[in-house]
Amino acid sequence: MPLRGALTVPGDKSITHRAIILSSLADGEATINNYCPGEDCLHTVAAFQAMGVPIEIAPGRLRVAGKGLWGLREPDSILDCGNSGTGIRLLAGVLAGQDFFSIVTGDASIRRRPMGRVVGPLREMGAVIAGRRGGELAPLAIVGARLRGIVFSSPIASAQVKSSVLLAGLFADGTTSVTEPAQSRDHTERLFEHLGVPVMRNGLTVSLAGQRAFAAKDVAVAGDLSAAAFFLVAALLVPESDVTITGVGVNPTRTGVLEALQEMGAHIELLNPRVQAGEPVADLRVRSAPLCGVTIGPERIPRMIDEFPILCVAAACAQGETIVSGAEELRAKESDRIAAMALELRRLGAAVEERPDGLRIMGGRPLEGAVCQSHGDHRVAMSMIVAGLAAQGETRVEDCACVATSFPGFDKKLRGLLTPSGQG
């Protein structure tokens, strides 16, 4: 059955984390509209509530009573970031510069993910952080310290690393500057600018002067392109579909997936372009189309890092070969996404070769329904649900509770597009 109609997706998860953090550190009250209600962001809300920031949660909006740069108080228990890499790594940057002690941790997946990438530069700034395996793994115990600005050259293009160091830089003496090997998402920089905090950008370097207080300002969060991507691919794959997703963020540091799908033969229209809290937004209209394979090398990875699971589904249904290389970072996400997608797509009959730094997918074999696993990873779960739509026969994806980390109500939205009235 085709997917038809219009829908919205939740607010962008990356922007929501940053809006909660910066609104908590601002002077005065602000409303965050269209926030991402996924569990990841609610953990960040709870962390700041535990540090004395009043945050009121209502449907579609958060009201944050900012405490100012130096207004957080010592939490009386461990801060739990759940499944969120962004939450724990950005929080570590904030906590490093406080005058109190804190411990941050998360679920089993978070406790396996690398933390040394933020702990290293934060220690260089003077942070006192202990953690398992010398600080490589959470829980992290952070004794707040007086920080100094550093000039940091990050070995990886990671917005979490960049943002963690810049957030620590807010509390540091002097200027903090971060250079990355390729441009990662720039939501932190844009939100600082929206709030009137000067950031200097020079090519791949971002700098920020520390210890400047700033005033609260409302934030309207753009719809999450990473969430929209599941519907884009579903509509492309199911014949006779025609779907419009309204109010989606199209920040150029995130739109690699649109370019890749267009290269594969998709026609995605960007309608009503506008700007929301410093972020470009548009309505995306997509209709089903035959797809062909694509080659994606390392230079394109950062701008579409979260869309590989769903891109693999598109590739399995496309004619010809898709090759992804230089994508070893995918192994350090909520799950090992290279191994997980190779295994799960094979269950449906796709021809997938797993490589150390990517995948080779020989597309075009008809997919057959099967029982699949989510690997506890929200994006793997949603990708396999979409693959199930494209497959012949029934597909069951097990262990889908993780979808709520970013997209509560995903299944309802999808079913809405499959009903004849087509209201998602």
Residues involved in catalysis: 306
306 near ligand S3P, rule: CB under 6 A: yes
Least distance in Å: CB of 34 to ligand S3P? 17
Task: Give the contact letters, 41-80, x = binds to ligand S3P (CB under 6 A), - = no.
Answer: ----------------------------------------
Residue 80 in tokens: 């739990």
Closest CA to 268 of 312, 301, 225, 324: 225
Q: Give dist(CA 230, CA 350) in Å, integer.
A: 19
Question: What residues from 232 to 291 belong to the interface with ligand S3P (CB under 6 A)?
Answer: none
Which C-beta is closer to ligand S3P: that of 306 or that of 344? 306
For the chain, how far is it from start to end, CA to CA, in angstroms? 15
7 near ligand S3P, rule: CB under 6 A: no
Q: Three-class SS of residue 285?
A: strand
Question: What residues from 329 to 358 belong to the interface with ligand S3P (CB under 6 A)?
Answer: none
Q: Which window, 131-139, 154-162, 243-251, 412-420, contacts ligand S3P (CB under 6 A)?
A: 154-162
Distance of CA 102 to the CA centre of its chain: 25
Task: Give the contact letters, 170-199, x = binds to ligand S3P (CB under 6 A), - = no.
Answer: ---------------x--------------
Report yes or no: 72 and 24 within 8 Å, Cβ to Cβ. yes
Q: Which of 23, 34, 83, 86 binds ligand S3P (CB under 6 A)?
A: 86
Residue 333 in tokens: 């996400």
| Number of residues forming the site for ligand S3P (CB under 6 A) | 9
305 near ligand S3P, rule: CB under 6 A: yes
Least distance in Å: CB of 356 to ligand S3P? 18
Contacts of 410-416 with CB under 8 Å at 24 or more apart are 410/227, 410/230, 410/382, 410/385, 411/385, 413/7, 413/9, 413/231, 414/3, 414/231, 414/234, 414/385, 414/389, 416/5, 416/7
14 near ligand S3P, rule: CB under 6 A: yes
Which C-beta is closer to ligand S3P: that of 183 or that of 211? 183
Which C-beta is closer to ligand S3P: that of 192 or that of 370? 192
Q: Give dist(CA 150, CA 253) in Å, integer.
A: 25
Report yes or no: 378 and 407 within 8 Å, Cβ to Cβ. yes
Residue 336 in tokens: 């090992």
160 near ligand S3P, rule: CB under 6 A: yes
Which residue ranges make up the site for ligand S3P (CB under 6 A)?
14, 86, 158-160, 163, 185, 305-306
